[in-house]
Amino acid sequence: MRKSHPVRRVVLATAATVSAVVLLLSLKPSSDPGGAEAAGAVPQQTSAAQESPQGGAAAAGQTTVTGDAAQTQYGAVQVRLTVSGGKITKAEAVQAPSGGTSTQKTELAVPRLNQAAVARSSADIDSVSGATYTSTGYKQSLQSALDKVKAAQAAGASQEAGAGTSPGAGTSPGAGASPGAGAAQVRTLTGAAAQTQYGPVQVRITVSGGKITKAEAVQAPSGGTSTQKTELAVPKLNQAAVARSSADIDSVSGATYTSTGYKQSLQSALDQAGG
């Protein structure tokens, strides 16, 4: 029974806790190291496509499909799916309500809904309590994306024989070697990540018939006001990229760094399309 020193104990416990928390926080990088990971994922997809036996059609390649935006009371929800072998391998929300508590609810609900969508591979998933509107919108958009997958598969199957040599089909550069992949003529290209002061920006575009039919940011600065700026700028930049079908788009005022990064990454994606 050593003598106890309550004051000393309190001081020690407080100091230890505070310094541990501060240490942990300061060890975290201020920008997302996932940039390298995301870039690394692309070749993986490629090799998967190459390994797949010829004529593997829609099932073999990975298809990325974006559902229709579903309007909710708090804003639009739009879901993008990556489908492989008839299963959802990845689900993400391209759009979701933001601002005030909506941001919190989105942060809360979307990861869960994404997870559920992958786990179930269907739109029959549970709503997240406390985020009912978002959940409902999510499920609608998810269902529409799944419908599109089905339609594409049906089309792919019927085209398989003829479209076998269609070049450039696939999900990423290099996948063109895999003939007969799902959505013919539509290519999805991911630009190199552009570093900005607030984190990397990386753009993925869907090109069809030489035009950008869709643009989206795979990576963008997040955390605090960065989240808000990203939410503000990225939809506008996406829209502009589709409208112009080039990287020559206007910056969004108030989000200059993000805009610049976006344009760089967009240009790199377009370069891939050209090459």
Partner 1 sequence: MTTTLAGGRAARRQTMRRIRPRRSPATVLLLVVWAGAAAVLGLWWNNTPSIADDTSRILNAGRITGLLAGYLMALVVLQMARVPALERRVGSDRVARWHAMSGRYTVSLVVAHVFLTMWGYALQGGRTVSDVVRQTVDSVNQLPDMGKAAIGTGLLFLIALISVGGIRRRLPYDAWYHVHLLTYAAVFLTFWHQISTGNDFAVEPVAKTFWYGLYGVVTALVLWYRILTPIRLNLRHRMRVEAVIEETPGIVSVLIGGRKLHRMGAQAGQFFRWRFLAPGMRFSSHPYSLSAAPRPGMLRITVKAIGDHSARLRELTPGTRVWAEGPYGALTAQRRSRGKVLLVAGGVGITPMRALFETLPGAAGDITLLYRANTTQDLALWDELAAIAEDRGARLMYAVNSPDGERPDISADRLRQKLPDIEQHDVFMCGPAGFAQSVYEALRGAGVPARRIHHESFEM
Q: Which of 226, 259, 264, 265 binds partner 1 (CB under 8 A)?
A: 226
Task: Based on the shown chain and the rule CB under 8 A, indicate whether residue 31 belongs to the binding site for partner 1.
Answer: yes
144-173 positions binding partner 1, by CB under 8 A = none
Task: Based on the shown chain and the rule CB under 8 A, indicate whether residue 195 belongs to the binding site for partner 1.
Answer: no
Minimum Å distance from CB 97 to partner 1? Answer: 12
**Contacting residues for 195 by C-beta, under 8 A, at least 6 apart:** 31, 35, 261
Compare residues 32 and 216 and give the one whose CB is closer to partner 1. 32
Q: Which of 122, 195, 222, 251 binds partner 1 (CB under 8 A)?
A: 222
CA-closest candidate to residue 190, choices 123, 84, 267, 247:
267
CA-closest candidate to residue 104, choices 83, 82, 134, 80:
134
Minimum Å distance from CB 108 to partner 1? Answer: 6
Task: Based on the shown chain and the rule CB under 8 A, indicate whether residue 33 belongs to the binding site for partner 1.
Answer: yes
Minimum Å distance from CB 13 to partner 1? Answer: 6
Minimum Å distance from CB 123 to partner 1? Answer: 19
Query: How big is the chain, counted in residues?
Result: 275
What does the block give as tokens for 258? 């993000």
Minimum Å distance from CB 5 to partner 1? Answer: 13
Q: Report CA Rg, the chain.
A: 22
Q: Which of 97, 221, 261, 265 binds partner 1 (CB under 8 A)?
A: 221
CA-closest candidate to residue 173, choices 262, 26, 275:
275
Stretch that binds partner 1, among 12-20, 48-56, 165-173, 235-243 (CB under 8 A): 12-20
> What span, in angstroms and rounded, lies between the C-alpha atoms of 92 and 88?
11
Task: Based on the shown chain and the rule CB under 8 A, indicate whether residue 101 belongs to the binding site for partner 1.
Answer: yes
Q: Which of 71, 223, 239, 243 binds partner 1 (CB under 8 A)?
A: 223
Task: Based on the shown chain and the rule CB under 8 A, indicate whether residue 53 belongs to the binding site for partner 1.
Answer: no
Compare residues 216 and 231 and give the one whose CB is closer to partner 1. 231
Q: Which of 107, 192, 244, 260 binds partner 1 (CB under 8 A)?
A: 107
Task: Based on the shown chain and the rule CB under 8 A, indicate whether residue 7 belongs to the binding site for partner 1.
Answer: no
Q: Are 227 and 100 in contact (CB under 8 A)?
A: no
Minimum Å distance from CB 33 to partner 1? Answer: 6
> What span, in angstroms and rounded, lies between the C-alpha atoms of 170 and 58?
9
- Interaction site with partner 1 (CB under 8 A): 1-3, 9, 13-14, 17, 21, 24-25, 28-34, 100-101, 103-105, 107-108, 111-112, 115, 128-131, 198-199, 221-228
